[in-house]
Amino acid sequence: MLKVKNLHASIEDKEILKGINLEINPGEVHAIMGPNGSGKSTLSSVIAGREEYEMTEGEMMFEGEDLNELDPEERAHKGVFLSFQYPVEIPGVSVTNFIKTAINSHRKAKGEPDMPANDMLKMIREKSEMLEIDRKFLSRSLNQGFSGGEKKRNEIFQMAMLEPKLSILDETDSGLDIDALKIVANGVNKLRSKDNAVLLITHYQRLLDYIVPDYVHVLVDGKIVKSGGKELAYELEERGYDWVKQETV
Ligand code: ADP
Ligand code: MG
Ligand code: MG
């Protein structure tokens, strides 16, 4: 699904990613861990196509297409979803209306007509029930006065509705409380399938107690210095990142 080869990327002429190789297949959950400032968010932003970041070398293919030739919106239409990125408040636009617009804009890009209102309502009902989201929440203004947990709930709801092929969840380093963490984990676990994939970026091992990844990669100073299975996350929790750095020097 996603093939990243020797990816180098810079911000304001400062090289942040220094040769990333990563391959993600349908059905897989990959976790990227690493110390603060190692380039985790840069990697997610470059895959999603945020403009501040310049890819200077390498290759990023998504289902055989060169991602670098697509703008962020086109990448989203192809099924690349970057969450935890837009905590914008939009007064007067409800959670439901926002997602309706997003879904219809994806359909339009594929040359499809708007989703019939009945189908949309049915889908909203099914997904919100699956994620245990109550109706009152759906009519609130987007992100306005949302708690940390409500922001996560909204993001997971967006992911459920958009049914992306690849979801990139960049968990910021600012402390998630346990409830917010469980909302993310339950959502991701319910939405996992053999056809979609998740790239879970996190500073914290704790999230991986709830979402069991197939692969764990450790990013240090712009490079993946170690990859392994889920047990690597536990090893990192016990031993920190220094031993990984030393092993690779
Ligand atoms: P992480 O998510 O692993 O904490 P980031 O990708 O956010 O790491 O940051 C990697 C490096 O890039 C850091 O040294 C950070 O200071 C720098 N950086 C990130 N975003 C910007 C930006 N917009 N402008 C300048 N430097 C940035
Ligand atoms: Mg950071
Ligand atoms: Mg980050």
Each domain of the chain, given as residue ranges in start order, spans 2-248
In whole angstroms, give the CA distance from residue 229 to residue 212.
10
Sheet holding 65-66, edge to edge: 14-24, 2-11, 53-62, 65-66
Q: 3-state class of 8 per DSSP?
A: strand
Question: How many Cβ atoms sit within 10 Å of the Cβ of residue 158?
Answer: 21
Distance from the CA of 38 to the center of ligand 1, in angstroms? 8
> Which residue minimizes the CA distance to atom 25 of ligand 1?
11
88-93 contacts at long range (C-beta below 8 A, 24 or more positions apart): 88/142, 88/143, 89/141, 89/142, 89/143, 89/144, 90/141, 90/142, 90/143, 90/144, 91/141, 91/144, 92/141, 93/141, 93/142
pLDDT at 99: 94
Bridging pattern class, strands 65-66 and 14-24 = unpaired
Flag whether the pTM goes above 0.90: yes
Distance from the CA of 173 to the center of ligand 2, in angstroms? 6
Averaged pLDDT for residues 5-24: 97
The residues lining ligand 1, judged by C-beta closer than 6 Å to any ligand atom, are 11-12, 16, 34, 36-42, 52
pLDDT of residue 52 exceeding 70 = yes
Domain 2-248 has CATH 3.40.50.620: no
Q: What is the ipTM of this complex?
A: 0.94
Question: How many Cβ atoms sit within 10 Å of the Cβ of residue 23?
Answer: 13
pLDDT at 165: 97
pLDDT at 90: 79
Distance from the CA of 192 to the center of ligand 3, in angstroms? 23
pLDDT at 200: 94
